[in-house]
Copies of this chain bind each other. A is one copy, B any other.
Amino acid sequence: MKTNLKSFQPVVSRSSVEVRYAETDQMGVVHHAVYPVYFEQGRIDWLRIVGMHYQKMEDNGIMLPLHKLSVDFKKPAKFGDVLTVTTILKKMPSASINFNYQIHNQDQDLLTEGETVLVFVDKTTRKPMRCPEDVMNLILKAATKD
């Protein structure tokens, strides 16, 4: 595959999440610890769109635990808000895979931005591993299509 001739385009997915009552706290807004769960949902949708099913990856012996997480809280989400989680991959994975996230509400307000670094881990040995080649190929295909 002559990938050097094509430029890497960010691969972007959008997921819709409706805020649950249980996710609010006594400030009357979504508790901050819920946003990593929204990011996770966005990431799982992203993987599916690119052609990977996270459960199948685990069934095949590959886990993707979080290594680093950062979140920037700009405005609060409220019960009943219909959020859009935008998940973005900006560069090819290696031993780790980095995603950026933006969460907007139904009024297109940017509520939250975040970033995660996940690492590929062998389920049996629990040791780090490189991104499997079939995953690389799926991402390359998504990132270089015309």
Contacts and interface: CB of A to CB of B under 8 A. Distances in A.
B80 A55 contact: yes
A53 B80 CA distance: 9
Interface stretch (A6-14, A64-72, A87-95, A132-140): A64-72
Give the oligomeric copy count: 4
Given A34-B33, A66-B32, A25 B26 contact: yes
A27 interface: yes
A87 B110 CA distance: 30
B76 A65 contact: yes
Interface of A: 20-22, 24-29, 31-34, 36-37, 40-41, 44, 53-55, 58, 63, 65-73, 76, 78-80
